Chain A
Amino acid sequence: MHIIILQNISGHLKSNRLFREFNKNFNSKETARYDLWNIFNCKFYYFYVLNIRFMKPFSICFGIVILLFTSSVYGQTKLPPLDKSPMDMSYYPANYPVLKIQNKLNEPLIARIIYSRPQKNGRTVYGELVEYGKIWRLGANEATEIEFYKDVQLSGNKLKKGRYTIYAIPVEEKWTIIFNKETDIWGAFQYDVKKDVLRVDAKIEKTDPVDAYSMYFEKVTGGANLIIAWDDTKAMIPFSF
């Protein structure tokens, strides 16, 4: 009898959002602990409170043991994860597509960047994972792509509208940012200096720790900055249009 009821309960648990969230984020040992938290917090607190006067201590233990058992089974049916360094995009004006459907646009579309987002995951980023003085794809997977929908000016240089691959050569005190016309390519492994269109310097600043590699645009007087933020470093590439 206990088992039938508890299986019903675990069916409930399975459809519980919090439970799934925890399942995704923790390994099975931790999952079991969080299931218990989850059980008492959301679902079965009432169950035990209502029963505690009638139930023998033995059956309470029995119930908990079975719950632990069923939850460890769910811990094993984890789904394969999505890309470790998922792709993302940023527009200038920031959130252009959302502003568009809200009829809140007050600037034309200027730029879009498509990049993949590795996470720090406790690693030392600059100087180790991203080596100083070497070309870097500014993200992960495919080389990062930037598209300008208008001609722009970067440090006094004109960059024509179009799609470019963007790379960086970071050194401690300054980064060189490279716009290259070889698009639709993986990584920086076949980087060809002959296809460079423009090189500019980026300003470097220290920042609060950023775990997931981020690229975005920010509005400034006279134009915008492309911001590259990861770990404790923030690079800024100003441009105007």
Chain B
Amino acid sequence: MNSFSSYRRHLYALLAVYILTGCQENTSKAVDNTKSIGIRETGGNSSLDKSPLDMAYYPVDYPKLKMTGSAKDLLIARIIYSRPSVDERQIFGTLLKYGKPWRLGANEATEIEFFQEVNIQDKHIGIGRYVLYCKPYESKWRLILNNDLHTWGLKIDSTKDLYYFDMPVIHLAAPKEVFTMEFNKTQNGADLIVSWDSVKIQLPITFSTNQP
């Protein structure tokens, strides 16, 4: 009996805690928002980025291959992007609204450069640098190549869209905490694999690998 009433007291207390912390969570969320727009500062600021920049090459690890003298194929592509973490947030449908443009990463718009001519689906893509962004939907992603380079990813000028490709969403057995983009060799080229949280997409890129 005594233990039951003490349990009830716990419940009241817990309720009070929920109410009180409810306000606190709201304020901490407000702080989060300003941070996520966060502008990477320059100048003497030496703090590191929460969503660090990274790059991926095709051929995979091209700089290392080059260093060890084993780069046999031509350099085809490089992607430069920032890597946010899931951080226990609900990503698709919540943090990233379906149908709304997403910079495929964080901070600056994601940049892809082709050093050779390539084909994606039935489109011929010329040598050069492009912004790559995405409109995610529940069952497919629309990947878009765009010409508006050197922009912060929150505002991409869609009038400069060049090509788009719809790719089906593949569900992952093991969730991916950190947003990742990588190339994977295929028979006629390479797939660009984009994965985060519980999904991934594969964008097949074809090209001829002439010897340098």
> Residues of A with Cβ closer than 8 Å to B?
1-2, 5, 8-9, 12, 14-15, 17-18, 20, 42-44, 46-47, 50-51, 54-55, 59, 79-80, 82-83, 86-91, 94-98, 100-101, 109, 112, 114, 117, 119, 142-143, 184-187, 189-190, 208, 210-214, 216-218, 229
Contact B44 A43 (CB under 8 A): no
- B78's nearest neighbour on chain A, judged by CB, is A184
Interface assignment of B123: CB less than 8 Å from any CB of chain A: no
Q: Which residues of A contact B21 (CB under 8 A)?
A: 12, 42-43, 46
Annotate B1-37 by CB proximity to A: 1 below 8 A, 0 otherwise: 0010011011111101100110010001000100000
Q: How far is the CB of A185 from chain B (nearest CB, A)?
A: 5
Contact A47 B17 (CB under 8 A): yes
Q: How far is the CB of A214 from chain B (nearest CB, A)?
A: 5
With A95-B39, A97-B152, A186-B67 as contacts: A46 and B87 at CB distance below 8 Å? no
Q: Which residues of B contact A43 (CB under 8 A)?
A: 17, 21, 24
With A47-B13, A87-B55, A114-B53 as contacts: A100 and B48 at CB distance below 8 Å? no
Contact A184 B48 (CB under 8 A): no
With A89-B53, A98-B152, A184-B66 as contacts: A216 and B42 at CB distance below 8 Å? yes
Q: How far is the CB of A217 from chain B (nearest CB, A)?
A: 7
Contact A87 B6 (CB under 8 A): no
Contact B42 A87 (CB under 8 A): no
Among candidates B46, B67, B69, residue contacting A210 with C-beta atoms closer than 8 Å: B46
Q: How far is the CB of B42 from chain A (nearest CB, A)?
A: 4
> Residues of B with Cβ closer than 8 Å to A?
3, 6-7, 9-14, 16-17, 20-21, 24, 28, 32, 39-49, 52-55, 57, 62-64, 66-67, 69, 75, 78, 80, 83, 85, 87-88, 108-109, 150-155, 177-178
Q: How far is the CB of A205 from chain B (nearest CB, A)?
A: 12
With A82-B83, A114-B80 as contacts: A50 and B48 at CB distance below 8 Å? no
Q: How far is the CB of A160 from chain B (nearest CB, A)?
A: 18
Q: Which residues of A contact B6 (CB under 8 A)?
A: 1, 54-55, 59
- Cα A82 to Cα B82 in complex, Å, equals 11
- Cα A95 to Cα B49 in complex, Å, equals 14
Closest 5 CB pairs of A and B: A86-B52, A101-B155, A186-B63, A97-B152, A87-B53
Contact A17 B32 (CB under 8 A): yes
Q: How far is the CB of B16 from chain A (nearest CB, A)?
A: 6
- Cα A14 to Cα B89 in complex, Å, equals 12
Q: Which residues of A contact B151 (CB under 8 A)?
A: 97, 100-101
Q: Which residues of A contact B3 (CB under 8 A)?
A: 1
Contact B10 A1 (CB under 8 A): yes
Q: Which residues of B contact A210 (CB under 8 A)?
A: 44, 46
Q: How far is the CB of A140 from chain B (nearest CB, A)?
A: 12
Contact A46 B66 (CB under 8 A): no
Q: Which residues of A contact B78 (CB under 8 A)?
A: 184
Among candidates A18, A55, A101, residue contacting B154 with C-beta atoms closer than 8 Å: A101
Q: How far is the CB of A190 from chain B (nearest CB, A)?
A: 5
Max chain A C-beta neighbours (<10 A), residue from B20, B42, B53 = B42
With A42-B21, A87-B53, A184-B66 as contacts: A95 and B40 at CB distance below 8 Å? yes
